[in-house]
Amino acid sequence: MNNDLISIIVPVFNSAGTITRCLRSLLHQTYSFLEIIIVYLESSDETLCKIKDFQDKRIKIIIQKDKTGPGGARNLGIAAAQGKWIGFVEADDFIAQDFYEKLLNHAKKYQCDIAQGEIYLNNKLWSVANNQSYSSVEDKYKIIQNGASFDKIFKSDLIHAHDIRFSEFVRWEDNPFIFKSFYFANRIITVQGANYFYNVSNKKEDYINKLHQDILPVVKEIMDFSCAYKHTPKELNILKHSIIRSFAAYGINNRKIYLGLMELMDNPLFLRFMYYKNRFRYFKKKFNFRKEK
């Protein structure tokens, strides 16, 4: 029997419509040795009341006083976590009943610092796992399909030993955390059938603008980390591809972002090719639309 405590950190803000489903999925896990750390930012809806409806001693509530973003909320949770393992869940989402049991069993069996599951988006499999483990920096970077921290568990010793924290005041806050933790992990395993159900809500224009605005600062943080730890040319090349694949491609059609990425990444040829290929598709689609009209 496993008896390792898992600390699950859930940032919460204006989540009255989804927090009940989220917490039910956590409280009904087949692996029950959990602490659920709710990091609550004052909301304008009934979120807090819905949390307090649950009478379970495993739930702890921390008040996030400063608006440091989801990254700041997760950092507060990390500071309070007592578990040997740490996981993250979004208040909009939910997990399969055996999610943490599968992740922990595989992590311990294969002596891994990180176990990564699979993500379902709109009931379709979005990120896949193959029950394989990875130990080289190149291989670990290759399996970064997105910047999500929530489909994984991390050994708390890994996080604390290297002082790995989330970026604050920015979006894409997961991505530097993922690249740093993957770099330092001795071994990572991907676990097939450990299912996380991710919900994408409609994004307002100011949120989308924030996503674009924060791409370059977050990329810079990752590139600075790479420089500080003197990645080999091969590691650096894979890192750059992973950055684009996991999140930076979101802004690739914006010329300002593209030029900023080129400067931060030292003008990689693959990025130039990707940019002009996307532009060609855009103008082709636009031309065909006008022709049909």
* Coil vs helix vs strand at 144: coil
DSSP structural state of residue 68: -
In terms of pTM, does the model score above 0.85?
yes
Residue 290 has pLDDT above 60, yes or no: no
pLDDT in tens, 97-122: 999 999 999 999 999 999 999 999 98
Q: What are phi and psi of 221, to 5 degrees?
A: -60, -40
CA distance 24 to 197: 13
Q: What angle do CA 257, 141, 149 make, to 5 degrees?
A: 80
Amino acid in position 144 = I
CA distance 69 to 78: 15
* Averaged pLDDT, 243-271: 95
Query: What are the sequence ranges of the domains in the chain?
Result: 6-198, 205-292
pLDDT of residue 285: 59
CATH superfamily of 6-198: Spore Coat Polysaccharide Biosynthesis Protein SpsA; Chain A (3.90.550.10)
pLDDT of residue 29: 98
pLDDT band at 178 (very low <50, low <70, confident <90, very high): very high
pLDDT of residue 119: 97
pLDDT band at 278 (very low <50, low <70, confident <90, very high): confident
pLDDT in tens, 44-74: 999 999 999 999 999 999 999 999 999 999 9
DSSP structural state of residue 194: E
pLDDT band at 269 (very low <50, low <70, confident <90, very high): very high
pLDDT band at 283 (very low <50, low <70, confident <90, very high): low
CA distance 32 to 159: 23
Q: What is the DSSP string of 250-290?
A: GGTTSHHHHHHHHHHTT--HHHHHHHHHHHHHHHHHHHHHH
List Cα–Cα distances, 34 to 56, 99, 261, in angstroms: 11, 12, 41
